[in-house]
Structure 1
Amino acid sequence: MHSIPTHTLFTVIPDTPTETLLINSYETVCSVSTLLLDLSDDLTGKHRDVALAIHQLSELSVLLVGKAMDQHTPRC
């Protein structure tokens, strides 16, 4: 069993498979993207523009992580 530093609230287990890291990253970024889009519905003006810009960046991250997943584990 691995020792977890006491000063760390969150940590990634050492030797976690790359595929697992990619899948969790993809799901996390997808969640952020969805939350931002939902939040932007409640905003107006500059705040809405900022939320939508961040959403667009998060969607770019979804594409990048998705591509990394495809390259790491090609689909048949």
Structure 2
Amino acid sequence: MPNLYTVAPNLPTETLVLKSYETFSSVRTLLLNLSNDLTGEHRDVALAIHQLSELGVLLVGQMMDREAPLTSL
């Protein structure tokens, strides 16, 4: 069965990191919005996944800061 999703093999690392950050950020937002509509155990699971995605955002953000720090104006 062919892959439905692929990542171009020659993308620069900066592009991969940026897209990862954007993906984690989107997941984080979607999960937080979803958790507002849930209750009980389902809400707890959504918030736990949100917390993991938040960690992903922080980790990728730290990597971005190390690899391509913003210069002060």
Q: So what's the TM-score if we normalise by structure 1?
A: 0.87
Larger radius of gyration: 1
Residue type of the partner of 2:47?
L
Aligned to 1:49: 44
- How far apart are 1:8 and its partner, in Å? 2.3
Aligned to 2:64: 69
RMSD over aligned CA atoms reads 1.2
Identity %: 66
Higher helix residue share:
2
Q: Which runs of 5 or more residues in structure 1 are unaligned?
A: 1-5
Q: So what's the TM-score if we normalise by structure 2?
A: 0.91
The alignment partner of 2:58 has SS state of helix
- Report runs of 4+ in structure 1 exceeding 3 Å deviation: none
Deviations 1:41-75 (A, max 9, x none): 11001110111111011001000000011111011
Aligned to 2:15: 20
